[in-house]
Chains A and B, each alone.
Chain A
Amino acid sequence: MFAYNLEMALRSLKRNRALTLLMVLAIALGIGASMTTLTVLHVLSGDPIPGSSAQLYYPQLDPRDMDGYTPTSKPPEQLSWPDGMYLLKAARGSHQALMTGGAVPIQSTQSTIEPFFEDARYTTADFFPMFNVPFIFGHAWTAAEDQAKARVAVITRDLNDKLFSGKDSTGQSLRVNGHDLRIIGVIDNWRPNPHFYDLNMSTFSEKENVFIPLFTSRDLLLERNGSSDCWGTDGNDGDHMETSECVWLQFWVQLDSPAKAAAYKEFLVHYSQEQKALGRFQRPPNVVLPNLMQWLDINKVVPGDVRLQVWLALGFLVVCLVNTVGLMLAKFLRRASELGVRRALGASRRVIFAQLLVEAGLVGLVGGAGGLLLSLLGLWLVRLQPSDYASLAHLDLPMLLATFLLAVSATLVAGLLPAWRACQVVPALQLKSN
Chain B
Amino acid sequence: MPILASLRHHKITALLVILEIALTCAIVCNSVFLISQRIDRMNIPSGIAENEVIRVQTADIGRRADTMARAEEDLAAIKKIAGVKAVALSNQVPFGRSSNNSTIKLDPTQKNESLNATIYQGQDVVQALGAQVIAGRDLTHEDNVDFSVAVASKLKIIPKVVVISSGMAEKLWPGQNAVGKTIYMGDKPMMVVGVLRHLVRPSIWDWHTADYSIVLPLRIGATPGTNYIIRTSPADRERVLQQAVAALKVTNPNRIILKKSTFDEVRRTYFQDDRAMIGLLVGVCIALLVVTALGIVGLGSFWVAQRRRQIGVRRALGATRANILHYFQTENFILTTVGIASGAALAYGVNGLLMQHYELPRLPGAYPVAGAILLWIVGQAAVLWPAMRAAAVPPVVATRSS
Contact = CB atoms under 8 A, between A and B. Distances in A.
B2 interface: no
Pick from A26, A316, A322 the residue with the most CB of B within 10 Å.
Answer: A322
Interface in B6-38: 12-13, 16-17, 19-20, 23-24, 26-27, 31, 34
Contact of A26 (B155, B294, B402): B294
Pick from B23, B154, B277, B295 the residue with the most CB of A within 10 Å.
Answer: B295
B16 A325 contact: yes
Given A304-B358, A334-B306, A433 B112 contact: no
B355 to A, nearest CB: 13
A417 interface: yes
Contacts of A327: 295, 298-299, 302
Nearest to B156: A235
Nearest to B297: A22
B246 to A, nearest CB: 15
A38 to B, nearest CB: 14
A68 interface: yes
A235 B258 CA distance: 27
B215 to A, nearest CB: 18
Interface in A303-343: 304-305, 307-309, 312-313, 315-316, 318-320, 322-323, 325-327, 329-331, 333-334
B287 A178 contact: no
A309 B287 CA distance: 14
A116 B63 contact: no
Contacts of A305: 273, 277
Nearest to B185: A233
A293 B269 CA distance: 31
A105 B63 CA distance: 11
Contacts of A168: none
B19 A322 contact: yes
Interface residues of B, number: 59
B19 A330 contact: no
A379 B258 CA distance: 31
Given A33-B287, A304-B357, A305-B273, A105 B13 contact: no
A105 to B, nearest CB: 4
Interface in A200-234: 221, 223, 232-234
A336 to B, nearest CB: 10
A305 B359 CA distance: 12
B151 A237 contact: yes
Contact of B151 (A22, A235, A307): A235
Given A33-B287, A235-B154, A326 B23 contact: no
9 contacts: A29-B291, A223-B59, A235-B155, A305-B277, A307-B357, A316-B27, A326-B298, A327-B298, A385-B273
Interface of B: 12-13, 16-17, 19-20, 23-24, 26-27, 31, 34, 59-63, 103, 111-113, 147, 150-151, 154-155, 186-188, 224-225, 254, 256, 258, 269, 272-273, 276-277, 280-281, 284, 287-288, 291-292, 294-295, 298-299, 302-303, 305-306, 309, 357-358, 401-402
Which 4 pairs show the lowest CB-CB distances between chains A and B?
Answer: A178-B62, A330-B302, A326-B16, A323-B295
